């Protein structure tokens, strides 16, 4: 499949969730959830689930709920990241953020509900029980105290002091990288793939996750609000520790290239059909939004 074909499949599947008529008293909550879930985006995480499932010998159609689940969880994290108590952003993917449209209380609940529904979506899928359980366990680990939430906590608690590269990586390997690792490994788990495949998927996800974050830090300096679909320059205004501060533009570019090449070489250790993922890694390394 091409990127566009995968995106179309994912968008169609996501569009079937949380459709609630006005007769439901909580319909506005469902609307708030869909507002952010269907706001577009690159859909990289669900795409990784589906492609790793395919090259691990699995059924992409049966893995679709797993792909949707990780996008639900990712969307919850974006809603909460934008809240006034966190990054206090008013723009996401070129549109007003969830709390700006629906209010802070509803936005919090929309994020909470998307997180819960992510696990429900996996556990209600048609995959064999042991594969459902493994996918849910991987996602829980990526979201929890040693994953995305733990990374967000470190990011907030270490604000106001200069970080080393190792400390910055401690944050970003959890805050950004953990969910990309999970996407790759959930695809293998959905297919019932081998441990060799699982390990290679994890290493690939970690490498592109780090490259993704470094590119994000670059775009916050080099891009524009219109191109990126969210405010730029916020890292500098908030005096945040970033890879641009630590490495500079040239250092960031070199590191991204090194990580991307490493990610692609890892794939060949366990998979034969790696063309799509190699092209995806290359495109992520030079993305402009």
Instruction: Output the DSSP codes for 101-162.
Output: HH-HHHHHHHHHHHHHHHHHHHHTSSS-HHHHHHHHHHHHHHHSTTTHHHHHHHHHHTTTSP
Checking if the pLDDT of 191 tops 60, the result is: yes
pLDDT digits (tens, 9 = 90+) for 102-142: 999 999 999 999 999 999 999 999 999 999 999 999 999 99
**pLDDT, average across residues 36-64:** 97
How far, in Å, CA of 223 to CA of 119, rounded?
35
Nearest to 69 by CA among 153, 132, 2, 154: 132
pTM of the model: 0.94
Average pLDDT of the chain to the nearest whole number = 93
For 52-61, the pLDDT digits (tens) are: 999 999 999 9
Euclidean distance between CA atoms 73 and 37, whole angstroms: 10
- pLDDT of 74 higher than 60: yes
Q: What is the pLDDT of residue 230?
A: 55
Percent of the chain whose predicted confidence (pLDDT) is above 70: 94
Supply the pLDDT for residue 234: 64
Q: Is 220 a residue whose pLDDT tops 90?
A: no
Chain length of the chain: 289
Q: Does the pLDDT of residue 229 top 70, yes or no?
A: no
Q: What percent of the chain has pLDDT over 90?
A: 82
- Domains of the chain in sequence order: 3-285 (1.10.600.10)
Res. 84: pLDDT tops 90: yes
The closest alpha carbon to 255, from 165, 148, 162, belongs to 165
Of the candidates 7, 69, 67, the residue with the CA atom closest to the CA atom of residue 191: 67
Distance of CA 125 to the CA centre of its chain: 21
When pLDDT is cut at 50, 70 and 90, the band that residue 190 belongs to is very high
- Give pLDDT, residue 93: 86
Question: For residues 93 and 130, which has the higher predicted lDDT (pLDDT)?
Answer: 130
Alpha-carbon gap, residue 151 to 158, rounded angstroms: 11
pLDDT tier at 161 (50, 70, 90 boundaries)? confident
pLDDT tens track for 146-156? 999 999 999 98
Confidence grade of residue 231 (pLDDT, cut at 50, 70, 90)? low
Query: Per-residue pLDDT for 36 more than 90?
Result: yes
| Between 233 and 149, residue with greater pLDDT | 149
pLDDT of residue 226: 64
Give me the pLDDT at residue 175, please.
92
């Amino acid at each position: 499949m091409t990127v566009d074909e995968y995106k179309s499949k994912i968008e169609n599947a996501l569009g079937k969730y949380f459709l609630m008529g006005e007769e439901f008293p909580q319909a506005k909550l469902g609307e708030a959830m869909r507002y952010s879930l269907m706001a577009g985006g690159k859909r990289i995480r669900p795409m990784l689930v589906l492609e790793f499932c395919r090259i691990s010998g699995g059924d992409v159609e049966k893995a679709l709920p797993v792909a949707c689940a990780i996008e639900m969880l990712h969307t919850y994290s974006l809603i909460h990241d934008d809240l006034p108590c966190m990054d206090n952003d008013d723009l996401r993917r070129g549109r007003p953020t969830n709390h700006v449209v629906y209010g802070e209380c509803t936005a919090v609940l929309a994020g909470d509900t998307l997180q819960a529904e992510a696990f429900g979506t996996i556990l209600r899928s048609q995959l064999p029980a042991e594969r459902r359980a493994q996918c849910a366990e991987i996602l829980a680990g990526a979201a929890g105290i040693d994953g995305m939430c733990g990374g967000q906590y470190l990011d907030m608690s270490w604000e106001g002091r200069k970080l080393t590269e190792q400390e910055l990586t401690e944050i970003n390997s959890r805050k950004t990288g953990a969910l990309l690792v999970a996407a790759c490994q959930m695809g293998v788990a959905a297919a019932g793939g081998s441990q060799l495949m699982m390990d290679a998927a994890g290493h690939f996800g970690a490498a592109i996750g780090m490259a993704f974050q470094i590119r994000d830090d670059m775009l916050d300096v080099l891009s524009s609000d219109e191109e990126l679909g969210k405010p730029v320059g916020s890292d500098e205004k908030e005096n945040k520790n970033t890879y641009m501060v630590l490495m500079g533009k040239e250092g960031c570019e070199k590191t991204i290239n090194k990580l991307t090449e490493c990610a692609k070489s890892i794939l060949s250790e366990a998979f034969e059909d790696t063309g799509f993922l190699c092209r995806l890694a290359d495109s992520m390394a030079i993305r402009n939004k």
